[in-house]
Amino acid sequence: MLCVLYTGEGCFEVKIEADSNDITDDKPRPYLCTVCDKRFTRKGNLIEHQLRHTGEMLYSCSQCEKRFTTPSILNKHMNVHSGKFKCTECGKCFQENRHLKSHKQIHQSYSCPQCKKRFTNQSSLMKHMNVHSSKYKCTECGKCFSSNQHLTEHGRSHSGEKPFECFVCNKRFTQSANLVMHHRIHSGEKAYKCHLCDKAFYHSGRLNTHMRVHTGDKPHMCSLCDKSFSDISALHRHKRHVHSNRRPYDCRYCGMLFKTSDELKYHVYIHTGAKPYSCRHCSDSFRRPNQLKTHLLKSHNEGTWLTCHICQKKVSRSSNLNIHLRRHDEVKPYVCSECPKRFCAADELRQHQPKHSDFRAFCCGFCGKDFKYICDVVKHGNCCSS
């Protein structure tokens, strides 16, 4: 039995108490989750479990207003504010003792004299020094590596060589480790399981990133705004999409420029008319996977709506729910670098930024005239084509 006690100052104490229904393995489980068919002995356990499907975050921290799905996760988070697991060297606080122990290795480590990067042992530091000495340097792009193996693997990005082939689907990879992880897709092996929910993953890195969903930890902070992220790849995407004006991908049909290859790919579908994401229930097809996901929810009731716990609005994606919740809280993490304006969503900032620049990313396919906004291209194109 899950017993939740409020202990004051925004903290909860969670205890597991024995119950007559929980003594044997064949205990009755009358409460059924309609999403994943998992059964529970008590209604309270079912309700808590269902929050993981809906994405509802009912438990709010009284000090920083972060939200969590369960009292136990909130209680762990409160350790950061109470200083229960505090580093005596730098004062940083953690949710669990194991996180503190792992952090302490930073203060007991070996430091690179040139870039100040730290390592847990001397051999790792010596290998890292090869980067500064340019011992293993790529002749194509000048990038340096810590070992010959890393240099060899990097060289394949220039040559296009992919020596490791999957014997099931013939997909090829530049590294053997990537092939090993890929094989788990075919075998269904997910050895790394979350102890807080039912999710499992193909490799440990994905599990470590997933755990931050429960802990609320976002250690990767953007140096250009006050937004932080749970994994480094999300931070890189954020900087590329929000703070960079570099658009290296151009459309061969209309000359429109894009920041990522995915954006270009979806845009080209507009010209070609391709809709590769097909519904398995009907004849509808879509240009983007998120459009298909929304269609499955609305038309075929497949999947799970995410519900706002404040106004009960339903959305199809977690990113849309996060943006929606920011509007309730009046949180605007996206800051314009040219003026004081702030925005709830990255798209809103991108739409605003052209006001401060003469950069014209949109081109008329009929006459070649450039425009700042795509809506202006559409208006112009109607006149130009008539």
- Give the pLDDT of residue 9: 46
Residue whose C-alpha is closest to residue 287's, from 301, 273, 302: 273
Q: Do domains 2-102 and 114-219 have the same CATH topology?
A: yes
Q: At residue 204, does pLDDT exceed 60?
A: yes
| Domain map (residue ranges) of the chain | 2-102, 114-219, 220-246
Outline where DSSP puts E strands in 38-189. Answer: 39-40, 59-60, 67-68, 85-86, 93-94, 110-111, 118-119, 136-137, 144-145, 164-165, 172-173
Q: Which amino acid is at 66?
A: K
Residue whose C-alpha is closest to residue 44's, from 79, 8, 19, 76: 19
Q: What per-residue string of b and e applies to 11-24 under the rule 16 or more CB within 10 Å gives b?
A: bbeeeeeeeeeeee
pLDDT in tens, 296-324: 988 998 888 888 888 988 888 888 888 88
pTM to 2 decimal places: 0.41
pLDDT in tens, 344-374: 888 888 778 777 777 666 667 667 677 766 6
Is 336:352 a contact under the CB 8 Å cutoff? yes
Domain topology for 114-219: Double Stranded RNA Binding Domain (3.30.160)
Is 362:346 a contact under the CB 8 Å cutoff? no
Does the domain formed by 2-102 have CATH 3.40.50.720? no
pLDDT-derived band at 382 (thresholds 50, 70, 90) equals low
User: Mean of the pLDDT values across residues 222-245?
Assistant: 78
Rounded Cα distance between 264 and 257, Å, is 8
Tokens, residue 135: 């011992």
CB-count burial class (<10 Å; 0-12, 13-18, 19+) for 241: middle
Q: At residue 14, does pLDDT exceed 60?
A: no
Rg (CA), the chain: 26
Q: At residue 203, does pLDDT exceed 90?
A: no
User: Mean of the pLDDT values across residues 10-33?
Assistant: 55
